[in-house]
Amino acid sequence: MSYQGFRSLLPKKDLYSFLVLALILVVVLPLSLDIFRLNLVGKYLTYAFVAVGLVLCWGYGGILSLGQGVFFGLGGYAMAMFLKLEASDPESTKIQSTPGIPDFMDWNQITELPFFWEPFYSFGFTLLAIILLPTILGYIIGVAMFKRRVGGVYFAIITQALAAILTILIIGQQGYTGGVNGMTDLRTLHGWDIRTDNAKYVFYFVCVFLLFVCLFIAQFIRKSKLGRLLVAMRDKEDRVRFSGYDVSNFKIFVFCVGAIFAAIGGAMFTLQVGFMSPTLVGIVPSIEMVIFCAVGGRLSIIGAVYGALLVNFAKTSFSESFPELWLFAMGGLFIAVVMAFPNGLAGLYNTYAAPKVDAFFAKLFGKTPVSHSSPPTPLPSKPTNTKTESVTLPQGVVHEQ
């Protein structure tokens, strides 16, 4: 990529925030936290994948999905199935009535491995499944909904129903899925013990690396023509359609991207936490993920990462200090965010901290500070009333003020 191309993909202020985040995740946290806490941060970061996907879908595309847990679960379960098969070799399961199959199948009187489990012996297939399963499902949902111009609240409700359906399916088919217990006691990856401290360090850095890959993809989409089209669609779908674009294709695309991000997060979750259960698939975790995104600021992909980190960090520390009252503290935090700073952490940062940070970097590099006069596309109060920012559509179609 040429320097020019790079600069347009990552303008100075975005570059700074990427650098600060990288510094925190790669240097500061690993040096200052012990492995137990770092592993927790790794777990929080897996939710950040979902939140980044939601920034694209919801913040930019205006598609509010309350069912991202479905994709998180697909990725997580695919990875868990592979690890569970490896942990269920005939030697370590010889106490069962049918050795060589996962323990929960044995408890449910299943005597041979179901056919759809077979491919998960292959690690390559598993990785492929983590990407392809959510893409296919996302595509089907997308085609079914967006081609029929189902959107807004209706779409949110349908995704929520999907989360409920998948949970019920997993719990009901416990012989094949482990039911309420989920898939537990995952041990090794190609013979390498995933429970050791070393493995935790490796997974943490893999997780950070993948997160940055996703962040760059998100940034690329944001800065591309597609990103501007998404904003235009969010603010005035009909005008985009009348300009000759097939709106639903863009929506399907960005929804699938969000789904893949969520699935990668899910797979990393399984690796770092060591199990997968339906409590991460249902409606409640799906809504929680939207909250991470809202706290971070739904228009900021970097903010989404901070949002996921902050909310989960607060959850852990509140619940450690006040085991009986912590939910009230969490509730208070959410109300405060919505009431006081609706644009989330990113909104706060842009208003108060950004000028100072830029001045600091400018001093560091001896250049002029970047102007923050136009914060990243604020959300209009009403979706139909777009006075906020003129969106320049490609092909010279100008969105008038």
Partner 1 sequence: MNKTLLSSFHVSPRTQGAGMKTWKKCLLTLAASLVFGNAQAADVNTTGLAVTDTTVKVGILHSVTGTMSISETGSVQAEKLAIDQINAMGGVLGRKIEYIQEDGASDWPTFAEKSKKLLVNDKVAAVFGCWTSASRKAVLPIFEQYNGMLYYPTFYEGLEQSPNVIYTGQEATQQIIAGIDWVTKTKGAKSFYLLGSDYIWPRTSNKIARKHIEKLGLSVVGEEYYPLGHTQFNSVINKIKLKKPDVIYAIVVGGSNVAFYKQLKAAGIDMTKEKPLVLTISVTEDEILGIGGENMVGAYAAMKYFQSLPNENNKKFVADFKAKYGKDIVIGDVTQAAYLGPWLWKAAVEKAGSFDIDKVRAASPGIELTTAPEGYVKVHPNHHLWSKTRIGHARTDGQYDVVFETKDLIEPDPFPKGYQ
Whether 203 and 351 have beta carbons less than 8 Å apart is answered as no
Per CB under 8 A, does 323 bind partner 1?
A: yes
Smallest separation, CB 90 to partner 1 (Å) = 17
Adjacent-strand bridge partners of 193: 188
Per CB under 8 A, does 13 bind partner 1?
A: no
Per CB under 8 A, does 316 bind partner 1?
A: yes
Residue 83 or 252 having the CB closest to partner 1: 83
Per CB under 8 A, does 108 bind partner 1?
A: yes
Among 16, 49, 275, 349, binds partner 1 (CB under 8 A): 275
Binding mask 124-163 for partner 1 (x = CB under 8 A): ----------------------------------------
Smallest separation, CB 71 to partner 1 (Å) = 17
Among 159, 160, 174, 343, binds partner 1 (CB under 8 A): 174
Per CB under 8 A, does 76 bind partner 1?
A: no
Among 28, 143, 161, 327, binds partner 1 (CB under 8 A): 327
Per CB under 8 A, does 277 bind partner 1?
A: yes
Residue 166 or 186 having the CB closest to partner 1: 186
Q: Scanning residues 254 to 273, which ones bind partner 1 (CB under 8 A)? A: 273
Whether 248 and 149 have beta carbons less than 8 Å apart is answered as yes
Among 95, 153, 339, 398, binds partner 1 (CB under 8 A): 95
Per CB under 8 A, does 182 bind partner 1?
A: yes
Smallest separation, CB 194 to partner 1 (Å) = 10
Among 179, 258, 266, 307, binds partner 1 (CB under 8 A): 179
Rounded CA separation 327/319 (Å): 8
Per CB under 8 A, does 201 bind partner 1?
A: no
Could you tell me which stretch among 140-148, 219-227, 277-285, 340-348 binds partner 1 (CB under 8 A)?
277-285
Residue 243 or 319 having the CB closest to partner 1: 319
Other Cβ atoms closer than 10 A to 365: 9
Residue 69 or 151 having the CB closest to partner 1: 69
Output the 3-class SS for the chain: CCHHHHHHHCCHHHHHHHHHHHHHHHHHHHHHCCHHHHHHHHHHHHHHHHHHHHHHHHHHCCCCCCCHHHHHHHHHHHHHHHHHHHHCCCCCCCCCCCCCCCHHHHHCCCCCCCHHHHHHHCHHHHHHHHHHHHHHHHHHHHHHHHCCCCCHHHHHHHHHHHHHHHHHHHHHCHHHHCHHHCECCCCEECCEECCCHHHHHHHHHHHHHHHHHHHHHHHHHHHCHHHHHHHHHHHCHHHHHHCCCCHHHHHHHHHHHHHHHHHHHHHHHHHHHCCECHHHCCHHHHHHHHHHHHHHCCCCHHHHHHHHHHHHHHHHHHHHHCCCCHHHHHHHHHHHHHHHCCCHHHHHHHHHHHHHHHHHHHHHHCCCCCCCCCCCCCCCCCCCCCCCCCCECHHHCECCC
At 49 the three-state DSSP class reads helix
Per CB under 8 A, does 172 bind partner 1?
A: yes
Per CB under 8 A, does 304 bind partner 1?
A: no
Smallest separation, CB 38 to partner 1 (Å) = 12
Q: Scanning residues 28 to 47, which ones bind partner 1 (CB under 8 A)? A: 34, 36, 39-40, 43
What residue ranges bind partner 1 (CB under 8 A)?
34, 36, 39-40, 43, 95, 97, 104, 107-109, 168, 171-172, 174, 179-182, 184-187, 195, 273-275, 277, 279-280, 316, 319-320, 323-324, 326-327
